[in-house]
Chain A
Amino acid sequence: MRSDRSQSAPLGLKIAAACGLLFLHLPILLIFVYAFTTEEKSFVWPPPGLTTQWFAVTWNRPDVWQALSLSVRVAAISTTIALVLGTLCAAAVSRTKFFGRETISLLVILPIALPGIITGIALRSAFALADIPFSFWTIVLGHATFCVVVVYNNAVARFRRTSGSMIEASMDLGADGFQTFRHVVLPNIATALLAGGMLAFALSFDEVIVTTFTAGQQQTVPIWMLEELIRPRQRPVTNVVAMVVVLVTLLPILFAYYLTRDGDQIAGSGK
């Protein structure tokens, strides 16, 4: 048992931590109130009245549905690509030491370490040079590139905790490479991959900076929102969409958390 378990925190630290968490959460809660406001033209607080009519209005907007469908399709395919590439890379980097190993991990981190606008404009100018017209696939190309790192990070962390001796034991007991992967490696990393995949999905679903450069005329949900932020057409509809987006992204995050939490308790996973 660790000796620091019974201590309680200094009051100042408690207050600072609580204020920090409130700072993180209150703005998002505010969105929920504004979704019900009767005020159409301004952001006045407190709301003059509450109504649910904007939900019906939003439900009947085809542009919102189109954006949602495009976002989901892009996120699904980008996540699949990122899962394959990220896992391969993580397995290679964590299992063996080889020349250029550090460079590989840098290469994976680079797309999110460099500002999104650089990725975006680099892709756009490459598409222009290669005469590739904007399409569904140009969006996917950009999204998959920066989603790899999320899967990679999750998988690498899990590979580090999975002791190599389990793989050796499996081989010693007569399993071939594929059986070892199927019965030993995969169960160990499955929850990390699922969590990484969920986070990659959320990342892609939410991405706006790279998308503005690779989407052409198509609208994903974030692009739709950006358009509304710059040139507001119907503020209440934006409020409702914002609230729905918060709720929709909440679920995969909670689920990803649930998965990785259990993953820490896999027997024999060691340190």
Chain B
Amino acid sequence: MTIAALNANPAPAILPGSGGLRGALSDLFWRRPQLLLLLMLLPPVLWLGIVYIGSLFALLAQSFFSIDEFSGLINRQFTLKTYGDLLQAANLDIILRTVTMAALVTLASAIVAFPIAYYAARYARGRWKALFYLGVMLPLWSSYLVKIYAWKLILAKEGILTWLLAKLHLLWLLDSWLSLPVVGGNSLSVSFTGTFIVFVYVWLPFMILPVQAALERVPGNLVEASSDLGASPGQTFRNVLFPLALPGIVAGSIFTFSLTLGDYIIPQIIGTSRLFIGQAVYSQQGTAGNIPLAAAFTVVPIVIMGFYLWGAKRMGAFDAL
């Protein structure tokens, strides 16, 4: 473009106001930014406040009701009896089992996720970077049920895993693992090991993405400086990489932990008949009709996640999301 063309249509220094209702509104928002802010926040806060927080409180309120054991009717009077029921050995077992599983799944996802995230953040370039990103995004967004279904196919007694191990002459390994007391069972698809594998598989991408985001922010020369100063790769990992990746790991663990705590479909389809919190809630509100106990059960993950989120926020994990 030539200078003449630019000069042909000189813009006035001060434009006239656009006038009308639109101009007035625009001016009003400019003078009173608080008003604009309020108008922007109102719809989402109202929606989440009424629909979500409202129903959450309605649920919590019901945990202070109790169920009449003879008539099966809900007694709408304040009581802590339902929380007392929660402390029965059978229910404590369910809570402990779920929290243990969530912790193990989180740990395993972090271990499997780290190499993928680190490679993608530090070494992958150009086309490989895109490939890695898609390689994580596609499984993340693939259908949850399809993924569980795929594992049902894999872990079935007549399925591909047994076939593969038979070809490798390793069936004895599978059999001796399955004969172990807690983690074993008739086949992998009806054992805690199966539940564990599927949990790790389904939530793994939720761990990879925040860890990768955290590692992207670590400058490469920091790692070089560490090795220049004589640190072994192990020391660099412990003292440089790991602390810097920690907010990302914590951010990822929010998902893996919380999702495992509340899931009732994976242990129902692949797992034993011993219940997890989610299944307990589902059966209490459904077949048993004991809404107060179901509500009290849901308070457990809420409290655990409350502490978890509070701690995560203090570690700066929300910036890594």
Binding site for B on A (CB under 8 A): 2-5, 7-10, 13-14, 16-17, 20-21, 23-25, 27-28, 30-31, 34, 42-46, 81, 84-86, 88-89, 91-92, 95-96, 98, 104-119, 121-126, 129, 141, 144-145, 148, 153, 171, 174, 176-179, 199, 202-203, 206, 208-209, 222, 225-226, 229-230, 238, 242, 245-246, 249-250, 252-254, 257, 261
Contact = CB atoms under 8 A, between A and B. Distances in A.
A45 B159 contact: yes
Given A46-B163, A176-B18, A88 B44 contact: yes
B18 A92 contact: no
Given A118-B56, A118-B298, A222-B143, A20 B309 contact: no
Interface residues of B, number: 102
Q: Give 10 closest A-B pairs by Cβ, nearest first.
A: A115-B262, A4-B220, A126-B55, A16-B115, A174-B15, A176-B26, A27-B150, A17-B119, A177-B26, A122-B55
Interface stretch (B85-93, B134-142, B172-180): B134-142
B118 A2 contact: no
Nearest to B220: A4
A116 to B, nearest CB: 6
Contact of B278 (A84, A117, A153): A117
Contact of A113 (B113, B130, B145, B254): B254
A206 B25 CA distance: 41
Nearest to A116: B262
B152 A229 contact: yes
A125 B289 CA distance: 12
B283 to A, nearest CB: 12
Contacts of B22: 176, 178
A27 B160 CA distance: 10
A125 B14 CA distance: 59
Interface in B87-143: 112-113, 115-116, 118-120, 122-123, 125, 130, 132-139, 141-143
B48 A115 contact: no
24 contacts: A7-B123, A23-B201, A25-B135, A30-B150, A30-B154, A31-B153, A44-B158, A92-B40, A104-B41, A115-B258, A116-B259, A117-B264, A122-B56, A125-B59, A141-B51, A176-B17, A176-B27, A177-B26, A208-B265, A229-B145, A230-B269, A242-B149, A242-B150, A249-B143
Contact of A226 (B54, B265, B295): B265
A22 B249 CA distance: 21
A170 B138 CA distance: 38
Contacts of B17: 176
Contacts of A23: 112, 201, 204
Given A116-B263, A242-B146, 16 more contacts: A16-B116, A43-B159, A89-B45, A105-B318, A108-B44, A114-B305, A124-B285, A125-B62, A125-B295, A174-B14, A177-B36, A206-B141, A225-B145, A229-B148, A253-B141, A257-B130
A261 B137 CA distance: 13
Contacts of B43: 84-85, 88
A212 to B, nearest CB: 8
Interface string B1-42: 000000000000011011000110111011001001100110
Contacts of A114: 258, 262, 301-302, 305
Contact of B142 (A45, A81, A98, A246): A246
Contacts of B220: 2-4
B281 interface: yes
B205 interface: yes
B78 interface: no
Nearest to A10: B233
Interface string B47-68: 1110111111011001000000
By CB atoms of chain A within 10 A, which of B48, B52, B285 has the most? B52
Nearest to B49: A107
B242 interface: no
A118 B57 CA distance: 11
A109 B264 CA distance: 21
A117 B298 contact: yes
Contact of B123 (A9, A16, A208, A253): A9
A209 B263 contact: yes
B141 A118 contact: no
B262 A126 contact: no
A44 to B, nearest CB: 4
A114 B299 CA distance: 11
A131 to B, nearest CB: 13
